[in-house]
Structure 1
Amino acid sequence: MTQNEKTIPVVIVGGGQAGLSMSWYLCREGVEHVVFEAKTACHAWEDERWDNFCLVTPNWQCALPGHPYQGKDPHGFMVKEEILEYVKGFVNSFSAPLHENTAVTSITRHENGGYRVVAGGAVWHAQHVVVASGAYQDAVIPGYASAIDPAIVQVHSQDYRNAGQLPDGAVLVVGSGQSGAQIVEDLFLENRKVHLCVGSAPRVSRFYRGRDVVDWLADMHFYELTVDNHPLRDGARDKTNHYVTGRNGGHDLDLRLFANKGVGLHGTLDTIRDEIAHFLPDLAENLDDADKTNADIKQSIDEYIAREGISAPTEAPYVPVWQPEAQNAPLDLKAAGITSIVWCIGFRPDYHWIDVPVFNGANKPVWHRGVTDAPGFYFLGLPWLHTWGSGRFSGVSQDAAWLAGQITGKDVPVA
């Protein structure tokens, strides 16, 4: 072993909420380890969220290990500055062996067992590796975007900050998941003309029958449902998150209501050629499907209330406030005054630096509760790793405790 090579029991890749949750448990259990973070511990919250970003889940669900939310508004929704304060408070709550600005560039199996990890110009040999780098490394922008007139400014949702960042004129937002729907509202509240390409994302009401829907679902034990018991099984990981907002105390995001107020709604974007946007004929279907999902959630709450004999105010069924007329008429971007496009069509993971047989034919990692078939190799912080909260403040602590138990060979209680 050369001078530039070191041996350590555990290497954690990623110093965000997942990797640091793992570190917290290993520190408590006295397990020597190191955490490598390519940027800084809070960079995703600080550098990849818009100015008016806020949580869409209530503050009481923030439960990082040893660091539950202790503010004055458990049923409120932290804004960006408060989220940063919360995460930085967690980082400062213990002495993690964190190496920031240190990217892991290679992980391979070691010939003598364990793994060889190259990070920051040094080589580390570890018996255990926890990949907690997340599922959102590469922003998705379609290939045809490069052929769009450069006079039309294009940004991805991770680079969007506020309406003033974009040139004067109308904005085309592509994608109606959580980010897209919230960015549409952000632009609309700044009196910008907005067009939205509506995809298949479902929606959910913020409040129903006197309570936040999240509170009802928590009482119904939805957040304890594991992916093994989910009706979709592994397919749950591919579902787009429901759009809703916590802005200004929280409210529904009803795209039909936006349309009534002047937002242009279109179907799924098919392509843009010669500055003409072409859409699939699915706008009515996508809006109806989103409303059906919301109605199904409400029905499940109704059934729970009836079953448990709970006294709760009644609420009239939702009535659509707008219906589309044209299904897929093309949109001339320049004639519509569109000067910018915000791409809100997600991310894809990047695992090119991992040379370990833990991927399927689609190059997706395969695990059960974060444990792969490669001995000592784990994933953490991914959507539905085990439950709905696995990739969030609410559930990552439980997953980290479980993996700490796999590493130490003993039961590790959840903090």
Structure 2
Amino acid sequence: MENIKTEVLVVGAGQAGIAMSEHLGDRGINHLVLERDRIAERWRTGRWDSLVANGPAWHDRFPSLEFSSVADEEFASKDQVAEYFEEYVAKLEAPVRTGVEVTQVTRNVGRPGFTVKTSEGTIEANYVVAATGPFQKPVIPQIVPESAAVHQIHSSSYRNPQDLPEGNVLVVGAGSSGVQIADELRGSGRQVYLAVGPHDRPPRRYRGQDFVWWLGVLNKWEMSAPPQGAEHVTIAVSGANGGHTVNFRTLAHNGITLVGRASGYRDGLLCFDADLAKNVARGDANYLSVLDEADAYIEANGLDFPLEPEARELGDLPDCIANPVLELDLESAGVTSIIWATGFSVDYSWLEADTFDERGRPKHQKGVSEEPGVYFLGLPWQSRRGSSFIWGVWHDARYIADQIMIQRGYAAHPPIKSSAQLSTSAIG
């Protein structure tokens, strides 16, 4: 693949890169998509075995292709999602090359475009789209030292209960991943502790519609930025077992011991903040606020939706919330594993561009970077709340494709003749 030239190089063939390819292809823009692994690799090997999509199949897809083997209201498994994207690439006849890793992107000196070094040679490109998404480097807080006598993994490395050492488990993180993993482990017979931080807790379904529908009609997917102070708040929602509303009170009544945020470790004792009740209460308040807005929408629009008063029954406050554990002796509690469902950081070490902050995060506006010719795609809140979801990244990709079209137009515009040239031309 030595010395290939393309107008746009797209790095990554997950949902972001595939969406980008579709919109570039629709505009007739020559491009190439490179993927170091397989198409949609993170869905294949970066998730646990029983994972399903958090949104129903009618919603969590691209507009021009439905899931062939998943009913509209069902939740696709991780393998079905990967198969969907493979099918999509075939449908588009997208120029995707797998097994090719991009190792360095540098701006050309004295001429337009970029030089891209890959595991299979060099590519010249006028524009580069970093479509590697937000799930690049697993983040494990430096709380429990590696030397501690406990097995520690990130949620991206968890596959199933059988892969863990025998014993009890602490799961840290109250988002969708942490909740689903904790519930699966409890169902396998393990005693489970779940560290719960700040979170949003929407209803899975309410009065006949899924929460993705409610967030749509209430314009919550279109929020351009998270509320002040809620930049790192996760969403606790599950599509597992046909989809259900996450209720931390119910999880506790079913045998999971809830604790506050993990905050420190000393001599085998793991310490937790005294914020559990507050976090659960705020999650409950968020849940009830969605129900209130949904009820108001139904009334304002005269919709004949079924009543669901039982949705407001939160359940009794479990003892582990009323009297939270603030210190846990891991050995005495029989905890042999800690699963850190604590998110990811980005890694753009391959991209040499003046558009990153001191933490290596992209500086951009809706994916348009501060480095001309460089674009980002698949980031959380890139343009709206829904940007990191399958359908949301498709719309962001359309915007990036439009921006590239605009830049192509500027690049093609001929220079204006100087006054001297105009005078000479007039005399001639």
Report the counterpart of residue 346 of structure 2 in structure 1.
349
- What does residue range 182-201 of structure 1 map to in structure 2 within 5 Å? 182-201=180-199
- What does residue range 50-69 of structure 1 map to in structure 2 within 5 Å? 50-64=48-62, 66-69=64-67
TM-score normalized by structure 2? 0.88
CA contact under 8 A between 1:245 and 1:251: conserved in structure 2? yes
Distance 1:386 1:47 in 2: 28
CA RMSD of aligned residues (A): 2.2
Q: 1:116 to 1:232 in 2, by over 3 A?
A: farther
Q: Which of residues 208, 211, 216 in structure 2 aligns to 1:210?
A: 208
Q: Which of residues 229, 235, 250 in structure 2 aligns to 1:257?
A: 250
Deviates more, 1:19-28 or 1:336-345: 19-28
**2:171 partner SS:** strand
Report the counterpart of residue 313 of structure 2 in structure 1.
318
Deviation at residue 75 of structure 1 after TM alignment: 1.4
TM-score normalized by structure 1? 0.90
Deviation at residue 354 of structure 1 after TM alignment: 1.9
CA contact under 8 A between 1:114 and 1:125: conserved in structure 2? yes
Q: String of CA shifts for 1:294-333, please: whole Å, max 9, x gaps.
A: 1111111122112112223141433342242333421011
Report the counterpart of residue 232 of structure 1 in structure 2.
227
Residue 143 in structure 1 maps to residue 142 in structure 2: yes
Deviation at residue 410 of structure 1 after TM alignment: 9.7
Report the counterpart of residue 124 of structure 1 in structure 2.
123
Q: Which of residues 40, 43, 57 in structure 2 aligns to 1:42?
A: 40
Deviates more, 1:241-250 or 1:356-365: 356-365
Report the counterpart of residue 27 of structure 1 in structure 2.
25
CA contact under 8 A between 1:148 and 1:275: conserved in structure 2? no
Deviates more, 1:346-355 or 1:79-88: 79-88
Deviation at residue 147 of structure 1 after TM alignment: 3.6
Report the counterpart of residue 409 of structure 1 in structure 2.
406
Q: String of CA shifts for 1:15-59, please: whole Å, max 9, x gaps.
A: 111111111222333322111212211211110111111111111
Residue 384 in structure 1 maps to residue 381 in structure 2: yes
Distance 2:328 2:354 in 1: 46
Report the counterpart of residue 396 of structure 2 in structure 1.
399
- What does residue range 359-370 of structure 1 map to in structure 2 within 5 Å? 359-370=356-367
Distance 2:267 2:41 in 1: 37
**2:309 partner SS:** coil
Distance 1:51 1:387 in 2: 30
CA contact under 8 A between 2:273 and 2:326: conserved in structure 1? no
AA aligned to 2:124 is H
Report the counterpart of residue 335 of structure 1 in structure 2.
332
CA contact under 8 A between 2:249 and 2:314: conserved in structure 1? no
Distance 2:241 2:142 in 1: 37
Q: 1:72 to 1:355 in 2, by over 3 A?
A: closer
AA aligned to 2:313 is Y
Deviates more, 1:310-319 or 1:348-357: 310-319
CA contact under 8 A between 2:258 and 2:324: conserved in structure 1? no
Deviation at residue 4 of structure 1 after TM alignment: 4.2
CA contact under 8 A between 1:208 and 1:315: conserved in structure 2? no
CA contact under 8 A between 2:198 and 2:234: conserved in structure 1? no
Deviation at residue 66 of structure 1 after TM alignment: 3.3
Deviates more, 1:312-321 or 1:129-138: 312-321
Distance 1:305 1:353 in 2: 50
Distance 1:33 1:291 in 2: 47
Distance 1:202 1:380 in 2: 24
Deviates more, 1:313-322 or 1:293-302: 313-322
AA aligned to 1:92 is A
Distance 2:3 2:158 in 1: 41
Report the counterpart of residue 81 of structure 2 in structure 1.
83
CA contact under 8 A between 2:134 and 2:345: conserved in structure 1? yes
Decide which structure has the larger Cα Rg and report it.
Answer: 2
CA contact under 8 A between 2:363 and 2:369: conserved in structure 1? yes
Q: String of CA shifts for 1:177-218, please: whole Å, max 9, x gaps.
A: 110011011111112110111111221111222322222232
Report the counterpart of residue 291 of structure 2 in structure 1.
298
**1:294 partner SS:** helix
Deviation at residue 342 of structure 1 after TM alignment: 0.9
CA contact under 8 A between 2:43 and 2:79: conserved in structure 1? no
Report the counterpart of residue 155 of structure 1 in structure 2.
153
Distance 1:226 1:7 in 2: 38
In structure 1, list runs of 5 or more residues that go unmatched.
none
Deviation at residue 68 of structure 1 after TM alignment: 3.1
Deviation at residue 367 of structure 1 after TM alignment: 1.7
**2:316 partner SS:** coil
Distance 1:364 1:20 in 2: 22
Residue 288 in structure 1 maps to residue 313 in structure 2: no
CA contact under 8 A between 1:24 and 1:65: conserved in structure 2? no
Report the counterpart of residue 239 of structure 2 in structure 1.
246
Distance 1:263 1:27 in 2: 49
Report the counterpart of residue 107 of structure 1 in structure 2.
105
AA aligned to 1:222 is K
Report the counterpart of residue 267 of structure 1 in structure 2.
260
CA contact under 8 A between 1:59 and 1:78: conserved in structure 2? yes
Deviates more, 1:102-111 or 1:155-164: 102-111
Q: 1:344 to 1:92 in 2, by over 3 A?
A: same
Report the counterpart of residue 370 of structure 2 in structure 1.
373
Report the counterpart of residue 220 of structure 2 in structure 1.
222
